[in-house]
Amino acid sequence: MVSSAKPVHPIWCPGCGDFGVLAAVKKATLDLKVTPSDFVLVGGIGCSGSIHNFFDVNGIHALHGRLLAQAVGIKLANPALTVVAAGGDGDGYAIGMGHFIHAFKKNASILYIVLNNETYGLTKGQASPTSQIGFEGNIEPPFHAILTALSIPAPNFIARTFSGDPKTMTAVLAEAIRFNRDGRGFAFVEDLSPCVTYNDTYKLWREKVVDVATLPGYDPTDRKTMFRLCLEQIEAGRIPVGVMHRPTDSARNGLEAKLLGDQPGPAAADIRLETQRPAYEKLLAGLS
């Protein structure tokens, strides 16, 4: 449902990592001078999915696991909009997994932020697709979205941040939105956003995060190198963060540019009768 209501104070638990993401999105979009009327924030289902209620911009609370379909649709309807989708790991990597994979190859110029807390916080702390073995009886290994993202050969921007480092997060989100604005395609940022109530990982993650830019051989333009570096860190029990993929290709590779070229998109098209009459008449003539 499209919301035009004024923002309300966040309902998150004090200390929730989602506050960091909200602040970083606000700061990045303010720095980039994104006007509220040209900004759409699409929220998923889960604690983090209410983020659009706390920000004075256009907002949609999407169906569970379907926020990317709606975000891509918005971008195609009006490519001039800045479109950011934000949801949790349960929303994006369980019920939303099909849309997640396809978003990389569709490559619409939107930003998708997954606020990963390795649990279903809204429903009181069950194991999610990213939960560690042993958490709440979980016996499955965690899903690593960064490795999946790096395995899809599309010109996407890929990064991971940590709510314990809001300054870096803000810079990464700003780069991702600039990437979208230039029409270069899909930007994916997974933020490590601890759930302080059901899975408080702040201390553990602070000890384990490793900025990939500090690793020997770091090259975010080389997908194979970044996959290897990230996998090595994961296998060593560490958590790689930072920019994982930054394409060298600066072309307008976004889906909206490929489909619409320089056309404004149906939501912004001139649909006045006098403008459209020649096209209608041509259509009718073809039917006679």
Which residue ranges make up the site for ligand SF4 (CB under 6 A)?
12-13, 16, 18, 47, 117, 121-122, 195-198
Q: Which two tokens stand for residue 270?
A: 């001139």
Residue 16 or 152 having the CB closest to ligand SF4: 16
- Specify the DSSP class assigned to residue 149: H
Residue 196 or 231 having the CB closest to ligand SF4: 196
> Considering only CA atoms, which of 261, 71, 246, 256 is closest in space to residue 155?
246
Distance in angstroms (rounded) separating the CA atoms of residues 81 and 102: 21
Distance in angstroms (rounded) separating the CA atoms of residues 111 and 68: 10
Distance in angstroms (rounded) separating the CA atoms of residues 248 and 245: 9
Residue 21 or 57 having the CB closest to ligand SF4: 21
DSSP 56-94: SSEEEEPPTT-HHHHHHHHHHH-TTSEEEEEEEHHIIII
Three-point CA angle 93, 96, 97, nearest 5°: 55
Residue 25 or 83 having the CB closest to ligand SF4: 25
Of how many residues is the chain composed? 288
Q: How far is the CB of 124 from ligand SF4 (least distance, A)?
A: 8
Q: How far is the CB of 193 from ligand SF4 (least distance, A)?
A: 7
Residue 13 or 23 having the CB closest to ligand SF4: 13
Residue 200 or 211 having the CB closest to ligand SF4: 200
Residue 163 or 170 having the CB closest to ligand SF4: 163
Report whether 192 contacts 169 (CB < 8 A). no
Q: How far is the CB of 208 from ligand SF4 (least distance, A)?
A: 20
Q: Which residues contact 76 (CB under 8 A, 6 or more apart)?
A: 108, 255, 256, 259, 260, 265
Helix 18-31, helix 166-181: angle, nearest 10? 50
Q: How far is the CB of 22 from ligand SF4 (least distance, A)?
A: 11
Dihedral sign for Cα atoms in the order 10, 15, 20, 21: negative
Q: Which residue spans within 153-278 are E strands per DSSP?
A: 157-162, 187-192, 209-211, 239-245
Q: How far is the CB of 20 from ligand SF4 (least distance, A)?
A: 11
Q: How far is the CB of 192 from ligand SF4 (least distance, A)?
A: 12
Report whether 143 contacts 83 (CB < 8 A). no
Q: How far is the CB of 203 from ligand SF4 (least distance, A)?
A: 15
| 85 to 70, 132, 240, 256: CA distances (angstroms) | 9, 25, 23, 16
Residue 89 or 256 having the CB closest to ligand SF4: 89
Q: How far is the CB of 47 from ligand SF4 (least distance, A)?
A: 3
